[in-house]
Homo-oligomer: A and B are copies of this chain.
Amino acid sequence: MKNAAVVGIGQTKFGEHWDKSLKDMICEASLAAVADAGVEKQEIESIYIGNMSAGRFAGQEHLGALAADCIGVSVPATRYEAACASGSVAFRNAYNAVAAGQEKLVLVIGVEKMTDVAVPSAVLSLAAAGDQEWEASSGLTFAGAYALIARRHMHEFGTTKEQLAAVAVQNHSNAVGNPYAQFPVAVKMEDVLNANMIAEPLGLLDCSPITDGAAAVVIAEESIAKKLGNAPAWVLGSGQGADTLALHSRKSLTEMLATKQAAKKAFEQAGVQRKDMDVVEVHDCFTINEIIGLEDLGFCEKGKGGKFVEDGKIEKGGEVPTNTLGGLKACGHPVGATGVRQIIDITRQLRGKAYNQVNGARYGLNLNIGGSGATAVVNIFGSDVPDGG
């Protein structure tokens, strides 16, 4: 295994981009990442692009070719899809190729252009991340699916609406001043609790928004990474897990086996401990999912996630600073871009230059979840080259 690191990052602002196409966003993020890495685009050997549903959102498949074409390079380019975890599966495939010595310098892109279709159509397209035959076709949207999960978590463990709301309050507070966030605005507990109900118990501010955006990172093999200007964010471990697509097939609604599998593999490979993590990105498509993610990653006991958040453990000065630049909740959730955006935000922290910097952050991870948990990817990063390099 070769060592590999994130050496360049770039993204569009996340939001509603009425004046930008899918191509425009891919170009903007990719060229920013290449420039940040300090390499020439012609040096890139391959493109790995994560995207969930450009076919439905933009009438465009064949995203790899689109990306290579609009960036202006002629290299192998493939799209990777695992619903909301598409960005991280693209990253993981790219990392594995570099770690295997098959490539040395590659570009990973995540993108989704969601606002060119009407909201009901977008919600239906998103439902395709679940089980079409058993869930989507009977009207179970994702807010509905996560509402079921939240209800069950409340029933089993006494989790409260206030604890769910505390996730939103914290993440929005973290995003204030983040120039890339869709909603960099603080919200109060009562704002979250009094927001319009979407799917009981999840109100509007418990839900991540519909967003346009692209994010890109350049991954380099050790010999190249050490020569470039940025402090590399070394990939220490990467794991991917799976669970049933439909919620009704699972033994438990409140535990995501895919997350546990992914975390186990990533931590085994990384050779670091949970307590070493200085900063984490946990997939907060709905507030309940951040609570469950913290539990399944092993940062707190099963059922205690709500209390963990309520007690301030995820704050910047807390035990596990989480979604320190706003998460999906406040940054927005352009589905295919989210995993790559998470990796960018961990990289910003490891570089020591995030606007909401966790002092001395050396280790971080991202948890990116597809659908209602049928796919999970965990990547672990460190600021020091692995094995003493």
Contacts and interface: CB of A to CB of B under 8 A. Distances in A.
B55 A128 contact: yes
Contacts of A59: 124, 127-128, 132, 136-137
Contacts of A62: 52, 81-83, 128-130, 245, 370-371, 374-375
A132 B61 CA distance: 9
Contacts of A223: none
A214 to B, nearest CB: 16
A78 interface: yes
Interface stretch (A12-20, A68-76, A148-156, A306-314): A68-76
Secondary structure at the A interface, as helix, strand, loop or mixed, is mixed
Count chain B CB atoms within 10 A of each CB in A59, A62, A81, A241 and give the residue with the most.
A62
Given A58-B132, A74-B257, A375 B64 contact: yes
B52 A61 contact: yes
Range of interface residues on A (Cβ < 8 Å): 35 or more
A179 B110 CA distance: 41
A29 interface: no
Nearest to A262: B76
Given A81-B81, A96-B102, A100-B96, A370 B55 contact: no
A384 B276 CA distance: 49
Contact of A81 (B78, B132, B257, B374): B78
B241 A76 contact: yes
Contact of A65 (B60, B65, B82): B82
A60 B132 contact: yes
Nearest to A81: B79
A328 interface: no
A359 interface: no
Interface string A24-67: 00000000000000000000000000001111101111111110
A292 interface: no
A82 B74 contact: no
B78 A21 contact: no
Contacts of A69: 131, 244-246, 249, 374
A263 interface: no
Nearest to A377: B76
A322 interface: no
A381 interface: no
A141 interface: no
Nearest 6 interchain pairs by C-beta: A100-B100, A65-B374, A76-B240, A62-B83, A79-B81, A60-B132
